[in-house]
Amino acid sequence: MTYRNLLMAAAITLAPLPAAAHFQLIYPDNPIIDAPGDVPLRLIFWHPFENGHAMDMGAPQAFYAVNKGRRIDLMDRLAPITFQGKDNSAAAYEASVPVTRPGDYVLVVEPAPYYEGSEDLYIQQLTKVYLNHAELPTDWAEPQGLATEIVPLNKPYNIIAGSTFTGQVLAEGKPVPGAEIEIEFMAAEPDLASNAARAAIAGPMPGGSVVAISDADGYFTFGVPKAGWWGFAALGTGPATEHEGKELSQDAVLWVRAWEVE
């Protein structure tokens, strides 16, 4: 399939959905790591486009990094915190990842399912974000074997604002056609010093959540209009569909960082 066909097959639409998009975050201040050391992170379940409602996180089921194919368990680096959004506070986590070698560090969290009372269902967002040290690309294009995930086709930590980003949605390693992908700009970013939300620098789009649909091979493409963090959530693409007797939406979430060309 040609690049042009990918763009046509995964055209972006504005879909009026009944609720703002939930997004699991693994947040570093900067994905580009200049020197070795422990990189601080925050794990937050939130609505960052509008600096909206924050949700309580339970203890993650797994939290780790992958560097040059080597898995680094990070569960013992988690510590509970309270994150303060604009309108409410919620249980979240602080953590760090030891960056010791050049290359990519693929950060993965498998959070506990969250019960969303307004929809009477559970949500579990298997989430990835990428760090890079010393400008050596290593792991970014590889799937990580999650139950469901989005694999980037563009290097995810230095997207050019105004260019495009393409990803492929997988479930148990196989492409997911027709997946609904919600797209979120992190208009409000967490402040690591205060564990509170900074002021939002943009507002949500009129018409509801920004949505793309994957093509027959699981691909979608989005034109990235602005520098900053962009999140993509493929909804309900995981194999697990039930938790504690209720419906489960097992989603794949990927965050990428776009930059202005200076």
DSSP class of 101: S
Question: Which residue range forms the structural domain that includes residue 24?
Answer: 3-259
Q: Does residue 132 carry a pLDDT above 90?
A: yes
Residue 181 binned pLDDT confidence (cut-offs 50, 70, 90): very high
Q: d(Cα 79, Cα 207) in Å, to the nearest integer?
A: 38
| Mean pLDDT along residues 152-176 | 98
Task: Annotate 111-170 with DSSP letters as a single string.
Answer: PPPEEETTTTEEEEEEEEEEEEETT---STTS----SEEEEESS-TTSEETTSEEEEEEE
Judge if pTM exceeds 0.85: yes
Residue 256 identity (one-letter amino acid): V
52-95 pLDDT, tens digit each:
899 999 999 999 999 999 999 999 999 999 999 999 999 999 99
Q: Does residue 194 carry a pLDDT above 70?
A: yes
Residue 6 binned pLDDT confidence (cut-offs 50, 70, 90): very low
Q: Check residue 116 and give its pLDDT.
A: 96
Q: Check residue 199 and give its pLDDT.
A: 93
Counting the structural domains of the chain, the total is 1
